[in-house]
Amino acid sequence: MKEDRWVSLFSGGKDSNWALCQALENGLNVEYLLTVHPPAGSYMYHVPATRVVPLVAESIGIELIEIEPEFEIPGDVDSGEQGDKEIKCIKNSLIEMEDEINLKGIIAGAVESEYQRSRIQKMCDELDIVLYAPLWKSDPLVMINKMVETGFEIMIVSVAADGMEESWLGRYIDNKAIVELKAINEKYGVHILGEGGEYETLVTNGPHMNRGVEIEYDVFWEQNWGEIRVKNAWLN
């Protein structure tokens, strides 16, 4: 009998890394990491710095599958319909995997987004596999503190929120940054984990990685949002 295998949805950000760590600690046999490289404006997926994810996966030591989706983001799209379209590329990839591995389920870093979780759950139900979402409804402040205490090195790669200026880009989340995020949350309502897309991250090192990721980048800033644009990246 084949051993049950799992696939971890993996953007390279803090939540997908933390969910992966929880899965590994709980003995799940993770066969693949699965990354989508979406176009700008995606409703379902983390967009910034996904091209660095192969280095993160190499450092973790789990094979990475990359998806180059064919969907586009129209200007006048219905968000619900768009989310349904965007999940199909993952579903198709998982269907292909079922022929080669005994796929038990997928791991997702969903925390509070019902928009994402409901679509992933529906897909799992259709494929008759399990959704493992260990972060769901966890306390955001407790979680971000645990990530930092555990040794996650979390770089902020995009911001789009009141109270978060250009200086946040490229900054690492540490205890001081958490205090500032808490204050911004209280003043502006910005989610401490960036669940509303207020900011996005990339984990460049952690206890589950064998080597850290170094990044050379430019900063793009326009009005009240910005992102880092990676020029080069390597394992140290």
3-state secondary structure 216-233: EEEEEEECCEEEEEEEEE
Containing structural domain, residue 52: 5-132
Same domain, 224 and 159: yes
Mark whether 125 and 164 lie in a shared domain: no
- Picking from 132, 149, 181, the residue at the C-terminal end of a domain is 132
Q: Specify whether 123 is located in the same domain as 148.
A: no
Kindly calculate the radius of gyration of the chain based on its CA atoms and give it in whole angstroms: 17
CA separation for the pair 117, 200 (Å, rounded): 18
pLDDT in tens, 117-170: 999 999 999 999 999 999 999 999 999 999 999 999 999 999 999 999 999 999
Q: What is the pLDDT of residue 150?
A: 98
Considering the domain architecture, whether residues 42 and 69 belong to the same structural domain is answered as yes
Cα–Cα distance between 226 and 193 in angstroms, integer? 17
Token readout for 24 is 């590994």
> Does residue 160 share a domain with residue 74?
no
Do residues 162 and 232 make contact, with C-beta atoms less than 8 angstroms apart? no
Residues 37 and 108 in one domain: yes
pLDDT score for 98: 81
Facing residues of 213 across strands? 235
- pTM of the model as a whole: 0.94
Q: Residues 162, 77: one domain?
A: no
Dihedral angle of Cα 155, 159, 163, 167, to the nearest 10 degrees: 50
Q: Is 89 helix (H, G, I), strand (E, B) or coil?
A: helix
Query: Which of 83, 116, 132 is at the close of a domain?
Result: 132
Per residue in 38-95, pLDDT (tens digit) is 877 776 776 778 999 999 999 999 999 999 887 666 666 777 888 888 899 999 999 9
Could you tell me if 8 and 134 are in contact, meaning their C-beta atoms sit under 8 angstroms apart? no
Within this chain, do residues 111 and 152 fall inside the same structural domain, yes or no? no
* Residue at which a domain ends, from 109, 132, 155: 132
Instruction: Determine the number of helices (DSSP H) and then strands (DSSP E) in the chain.
Output: 7, 9
How many CA atoms lie less than 13 Å away from 223 in the CB half-sphere? 2
The count of domains in the chain is: 2
Between residues 115 and 5, which one has the greater pLDDT?
5
170 and 218 fall within a common domain: yes
Query: What is the DSSP code (8-state) at residue 220?
Result: E
Question: What CATH number does the domain containing 204 carry?
Answer: 3.90.1490.10
**Both structure tokens of 234:** 């390597």
Summarised one tens digit per residue, pLDDT across range 175-210 is 999 999 999 999 999 999 999 889 999 999 999 999
**What per-residue confidence (pLDDT) applies to 222?**
95
Q: Which of 118, 150, 148, 145 is CA-nearest to residue 133?
A: 118
What is the C-alpha to C-alpha distance for residues 170 and 182, in angstroms, rounded to an integer? 19
Q: Are 181 and 164 in the same domain? A: yes
| Averaged pLDDT score across all residues of the chain | 93
Strand order in the sheet with 225-235: 199-205, 153-159, 225-235, 213-222
| Three-point CA angle 152, 155, 161, nearest 5° | 125
